[in-house]
């Protein structure tokens, strides 16, 4: 391996070039969390690491930024389904490996969802060690892959993790458990937590009899459980001692269907659909709500939702199931429901409304749990720094405040 570290990074679908141009122009980015891509690129600039970072955003653009070059490059056959979907992932993985080789990369960091993991063997064939970055788990917790195709993909991925993968980082203990399981303990793993600016977060009010507000924040998709919310609202009408109001924040393909259901059943006063909100408006919703709900279903590979961090930063408990993978991270501020079970979620909500001692106990846990999401030593750059020390011998930074100073 060359003495000079040259990092190739494959990121998700976000517009990393547009975001950096806005940042350089002094424009504020209206997100509650600090984007992982921003953290990574700031780390590379601070360490003067020659870096080539590629996103799969369809708005083709590129930017040179000191030692870092960033580019939006859409996937071939993007948006296809069936066999063409898998072909798209394979072609994109091969394309990235070739570009990494041309760049002269000595290490590649590849986000989950970029391609099938086994395709990353192309990088190793070209002499480039691969670090996998897991924003998502390999399969929903408690629901391993079923069906011939999915089992075959898992077997191929397992071969990659056992024999090829140089290391992995990820957002939750469940990510680590699954990697250890699939690699038979051969892959070094470093966890990290999403990071936030504390400014703007306000402690939500105590629940008082009369109204109980619950917020859903995230992509409005059926596999995120957003379409279960009207069913919960209907079930709570006669059973709850307080009027329960759900507030839904976020865009997505299921948003129009959700709005139709709400109109059809005349639930506009029970399920308020905001759509996507800017940071200040979203923090305002958190500040008036009494709980957060994360009803992720068993067909989504959740890593650890950022909304769970936002909940404890706002001082309110989370209602969710094991597939969200939040219990290991903020467990003492959560109420457990059964995955895919609307009635179980209704009962969990009722327990918060009816048991004031439980509600107060969960809220009291939030300030301590929130600290990990403000601790830069538990950030994405810190996890990558530790792993790069293991793989390349590069000395880690003594602290990460300077990385975040530029982007906050």
Question: Which tokens belong to 366?
Answer: 């939030």
* pLDDT the model gives residue 1: 42
Task: Read off the pTM.
Answer: 0.94
* pLDDT the model gives residue 27: 81
Q: Is the Cβ–Cβ distance between 332 and 370 less than 8 Å? A: no
Domains 6-195+374-407 and 211-370 share a fold: yes
pLDDT in tens, 210-224: 999 999 999 999 999
Q: Is the Cβ–Cβ distance between 295 and 334 less than 8 Å? A: no
User: In this structure, what DSSP letter does residue 66 have?
Assistant: T
Spelled out in words, what is the top-level CATH class assigned to the domain 211-370? alpha beta
* pLDDT the model gives residue 29: 67
Residue segments in the chain with a per-residue pLDDT below the cut of 50: 1-2
* pLDDT the model gives residue 245: 98
* pLDDT the model gives residue 83: 87
The CATH topology of domain 6-195+374-407 is: Rossmann fold (3.40.50)
Place of tokens 């094991």: 322
List the one residue out of 96, 172, 106, 166 whose CA is nearest residue 138: 172
Q: Give Cβ neighbours of residue 260 (< 8 Å, ≥ 6 apart).
A: none
Report the alpha-carbon distance of residue 288 to residue 279 in Å, rounded.
15
> Mind giving me the DSSP string for 1-45?
--SS-EEEEE--SS-HHHHHHHHHTTPPP--SB--HHHHHHHHHH
User: In this structure, what DSSP letter does residue 196 have?
Assistant: B
Question: For the chain, what are the domain ranges?
Answer: 6-195+374-407, 211-370
pLDDT in tens, 351-407: 999 999 999 999 999 999 999 999 999 999 999 999 999 999 999 999 999 999 988
**Alpha helices per DSSP H over 104-226:** 121-125, 148-163, 173-183
């Amino acid at each position: 391996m060359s003495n000079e570290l040259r990092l190739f990074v494959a990121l998700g679908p976000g517009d990393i070039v547009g975001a950096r141009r806005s940042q350089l122009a002094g424009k504020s980015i209206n997100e509650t969390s600090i984007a992982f891509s921003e953290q990574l690129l700031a780390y590379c600039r601070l360490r003067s690491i020659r870096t080539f970072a590629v996103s799969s955003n369809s708005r083709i653009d590129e930017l040179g930024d000191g030692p870092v070059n960033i580019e939006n490059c859409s996937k071939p056959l993007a948006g296809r389904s069936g066999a063409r979907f898998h072909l798209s992932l394979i072609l994109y993985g091969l394309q990235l490996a070739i570009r990494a080789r041309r760049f002269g990369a000595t290490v590649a960091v590849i986000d989950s969802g970029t391609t099938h993991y086994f395709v990353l063997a192309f990088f190793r064939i070209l002499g480039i060690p691969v670090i996998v970055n897991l924003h998502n788990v390999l399969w929903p917790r408690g629901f391993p892959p079923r069906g011939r195709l999915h089992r075959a993909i898992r077997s191929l991925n397992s071969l990659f993790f056992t024999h090829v993968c140089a290391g992995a980082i990820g957002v939750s203990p469940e990510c680590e458990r699954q990697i250890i399981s699939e690699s038979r303990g051969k892959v070094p793993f470093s966890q990290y937590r999403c990071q936030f600016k504390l400014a703007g977060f306000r402690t939500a009010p105590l629940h008082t009899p009369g109204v109980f507000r619950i917020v859903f924040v995230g992509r409005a998709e059926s596999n995120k459980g957003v379409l279960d919310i009207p069913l919960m609202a209907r079930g709570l009408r006669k059973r709850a001692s307080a009027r329960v109001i759900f507030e839904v924040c976020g865009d997505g393909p299921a948003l129009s269907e959700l709005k139709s259901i709400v109109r059809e059943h005349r639930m506009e006063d029970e399920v308020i659909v905001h759509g996507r909100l800017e940071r200040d408006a979203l923090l305002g919703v958190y500040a008036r709500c009494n709980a957060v709900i994360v009803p992720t279903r068993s067909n989504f590979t959740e890593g650890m939702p950022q909304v769970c961090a936002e909940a404890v930063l706002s001082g309110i408990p989370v209602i969710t199931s094991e597939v969200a993978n939040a219990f290991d991270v903020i467990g003492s501020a959560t109420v457990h429901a059964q995955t895919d079970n609307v009635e179980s979620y209704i009962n969990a909500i009722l327990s918060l409304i009816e048991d004031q001692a439980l509600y107060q106990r969960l809220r009291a846990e939030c300030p301590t749990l929130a600290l990990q999401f403000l601790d830069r030593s538990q950030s994405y750059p810190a996890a990558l720094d530790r792993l790069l020390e293991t793989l390349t011998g590069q000395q880690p930074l003594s602290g990460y405040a300077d990385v975040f100073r530029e982007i906050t």
